[in-house]
Amino acid sequence: MTKIFDSGNAACALAVRDVGVDFVAAYPITPQTSVVEKIASYIAEGEMDAKYLPVESEHSAASAVAAASAVGARVFTATSSQGLLYMHEILHYAAGGRLPIVMANVNRAVNMPWCLYVDHQDAVSQRDTGWIQLFAASNQEIYDTVILAYKVAEEVQIPVMVNYDGFLVSHSSMPFETLEPSKIQEFLPPLNPAWRLHPQWGGTFGNVTPSEEYVPYRYALTEDLKKAGEVIMRCLKEYEKLTGRWHGGYFETYRPEGAEYFLFSMGSMGKEMEIAVDLLREQGIAAAGLRLRVFNPFPEEELAALLPAGAKLLVFDRNLVYGSAGGALLQLAKAALFNRRDSLQVTGISLGLGGEDLPASVLVAKAREMMEVCK
């Protein structure tokens, strides 16, 4: 265990080094760039025994890691914004192919207009590709979540996207601790896939199927994704037992005792929200923070079970669902509570797009506006 003071991107690259990835293919894009720069330098300097394939685009990066994963390699790629969108087609391939790929997505607004700063439109617009999506809000959480992602991906055979906010986390330095190789090996055994492509074994992969073969395959993906939540929780507890580190389960809850208003958000905003909750509590308002860590599979039952009678859910979305009221979290929360907790009030707003700054004072003001709606 080494104590480090470095950026979120450095925490991500160190985790990739420490889990023993075999193959990396990536195309640089702001604000992801330093992740793949650092990994390339670990490989060049012999600190990491892996093959790095420089490619001409994100579509090729995703294709290359999918192919390498299919032959049994432990793989990694990273991207942001337009790069993630350019991967879209291959994201479906990867999930459908049940390939345990881990990718870091450093959240950034999408074009046009052109913008370098954070929001979650990139990740949210890839929700329905069949990937597990996790969100981290500190550099320690990034390091730990990347390691967890491999464990989960390899067990459920579904690719995992680890998201964290561009610049606010990716370029912000904070203290964090790595993990000794022996502990990582204890947690994450060597990759031993149930099948893999091999020239001597023959066979085909991803061939044309008639409906009767296609349908059960697709249903299996969605059913296994729903069950992946339990696997994530079990792996988190194992990791906690091994390391003592805990960032929350599906959610990180903050001051839920006696709370009436639950301020629901995702990403770095959820960490700043804790300051907003403290300020609201000082104003005599029974507020709590609820930071979502597992965006997909969305923890519907857990959200419904977590909220006490009479709770009011205030949803802060760093994304838009165009043409609808509010963002993705608001829609998912409403769907989760419908028929389960119909008596609860839910309202939400979209904010913080394109890096619009969200200091606690703004979050408090927005929460108070939403409280008026919930009265």
Name the site residues for another protein (rule: CB under 8 A): 5, 116, 137, 165, 167-169, 171-175, 268-269, 271-272, 274-275, 357-360
Judge contact between 251 and 299, C-beta under 8 A: yes
Lookup: tokens for 154? 């390899």
Nearer Cβ to another protein, position 18 or 274? 274
CB of 16 to another protein, least distance (A): 22
Nearest distance, CB of residue 275 and another protein, angstroms:
6
Q: How far is the CB of 66 from another protein (least distance, A)?
A: 32
| Beta carbon of residue 204, minimum distance to another protein (angstroms, whole number) | 47
Per DSSP, 33 falls in state H
Cβ distance to another protein smaller for residue 159 or 352? 352
Tokens of 122: 């990139």
Which residue, 34 or 350, is less far from another protein as judged by CB? 34
Distance set, CA 200 to CA 45, 203, 231 (Å): 34, 9, 33
Residues in Cβ contact with 133 at an 8 Å cutoff, skipping those fewer than 6 apart: 123, 126, 127, 160, 161, 163, 294, 295, 296
- φ, ψ dihedrals at 219, nearest 5°: -65, -35
Q: Which is nearer to another protein, 216 or 359 (CB)?
A: 359
Identity of the residue, 4 or 70, whose beta carbon is nearer to another protein in the bound complex:
4
Which amino acid is it at 347?
T
**Rounded to whole angstroms, how far apart are CA atoms 76 and 64?**
10
Q: How far is the CB of 358 from another protein (least distance, A)?
A: 6
Q: Which is nearer to another protein, 62 or 363 (CB)?
A: 363
Minimal distance, residue 259 CB to another protein, in Å: 18
186 versus 357: smaller Cβ distance to another protein: 357
Minimum CB separation of residue 33 from another protein in Å reads 12
What CA–CA distance (Å, rounded) separates 133 from 126? Answer: 9
CB distance 32 to 44 below 8 Å: no
Closest CA to 250 of 331, 154, 132, 79: 132
Instruction: Find, among 327, 266, 294, the residue nearest to 125 by Cα.
Output: 327
